[in-house]
Amino acid sequence: MANVQQYLRPDVIRQVSRLDLRAKFIVQGFLAGLHVSPFHGFSVEFSEHRKYEPGDDVKDIDWNVYARTERLYVKKFQAETNLTCYLVMDLSKSMDYTYRQALTKFGYAINLAAAMAFLMIQQQDPTGLVTFDTEIRTFLPPKSKRTQIGAILSVLDAARPVGQTNVADCLHQIARIIRKRSLVILFSDLLTELEPVVRALHHLRHDGNEVIIFHILDEAEVTFPFRQVVELEEPETLERLTLDARGVREGYLQALREFTEQLDRECLKVNIDVIRVHTGQNFDRALIQYLTERQKRF
């Protein structure tokens, strides 16, 4: 189990060349870890079952699961499990950054999204993929067939963060494309003007969609480890700025706190979950937070 769980570490998963193997290793390590964590039983409940509740028909109890877990679960009906999901990937150049971690923000997001595709389709949830920068670049309609995993991974593997982005306009467009209530999972650093993005997120929620944001930052963006004079470059405009890191560190961290607090506050108003991770953290942190939020909702 320890050998499997090592693949939850970004520095280890980076050494695996194929994205499909990366995704499988992350999922296997994640599910193995659930059996030795306070979330024991969630891997069963997540895929095909839910906890028994008073009033449920006793004949629906899965006694094989009870024998393994000593907990009562009932099998989910098809209507309970099939939730259409869209994985939405930000291709902005700002995602192509790392200071000292094994993966860039984009690399981290790609591996996380690939693992999510495996998890969703494994439980027969129709899953699609949208990639965007200043406009939507790829749109794969949701499907639950296992061949969809290959289609999603092929697009993710070929995707590159190359330029500027317009998160708000693309989210509005996605809201117009979606025809029925769905789960929209956004992977982005959201390093853009926040108010238009908030309005677009509200648009998605107003149409009845559930929204979860994986807010992915680089470890250096979270901790600001710089101590000397540094030259920073804005990745989308290529504007350069030289500054004394010690002199601006406190102000930068305060601005980051204000930004994330505003995002969290606005999302809370419309019941959007923000899962914040950085590139130095193991993948199971993000997946467990996702699983927890989905348990609350579904």
* 265-289 residue pLDDT tens: 999 999 999 999 999 999 988 988 8
The residue type of 83 is L
Alpha helices by DSSP H, 178-244: 194-206, 219-223
pLDDT of residue 44: 47
| Contact criterion met (CB below 8 Å) for 232 and 289 | no
| Contact criterion met (CB below 8 Å) for 189 and 90 | yes
Q: How far is CA 195 from CA 11, 227, 262, 266, in A?
A: 35, 32, 10, 9
Q: Please give the Cα distance from 109 to 13 (Å, whole number).
A: 13
Mean pLDDT of the 221-249 span: 81
pLDDT exceeds 60 at position 10: yes
Exposed e or buried b for every residue in 33-43, given b needs 16+ CB within 10 A? Answer: bbeeeebebbb
The domain locations on the chain are 2-79, 82-297
| Contact criterion met (CB below 8 Å) for 291 and 119 | no
pLDDT exceeds 80 at position 74: no
* Residue 194 burial (CB count, 10 A): 15
Which tokens in the block code for residue 108? Answer: 């981290």
pLDDT exceeds 60 at position 298: no
Which tokens in the block code for residue 158? Answer: 């070929």
CA-nearest of 91, 253, 268 to 187 is 91
Q: How confident is the model at residue 148 (pLDDT cuts 50, 70, 90)?
A: very high
Q: How confident is the model at residue 82 (pLDDT cuts 50, 70, 90)?
A: low
Q: For residue 8, give the DSSP letter.
A: G
Domain 82-297, CATH number (from 3.90.870.10, 3.30.300.90, 3.40.50.460, 3.40.50.410)? 3.40.50.410
pLDDT exceeds 80 at position 174: yes
Q: For residue 210, give the DSSP letter.
A: E
pLDDT of residue 4: 66
pLDDT digits (tens, 9 = 90+) for 243-255: 787 888 899 999 9
pLDDT of residue 297: 58
Number of H helices, E strands in the chain: 13, 10
Mean pLDDT of the 114-135 span: 92
Helix axes 105-122, 147-158, angle to 10 degrees: 170
Average pLDDT, the chain: 86
| Contact criterion met (CB below 8 Å) for 174 and 204 | yes
Q: Please give the Cα distance from 269 to 182 (Å, whole number).
A: 19
Q: How far is CA 188 from CA 51, 110, 158, 253, in A?
A: 33, 11, 17, 19
pLDDT digits (tens, 9 = 90+) for 25-41: 898 888 777 655 554 54
| Contact criterion met (CB below 8 Å) for 135 and 170 | yes
Q: For residue 76, give the DSSP letter.
A: P
Question: 227: part of which helix (H) or strand (E)?
Answer: none
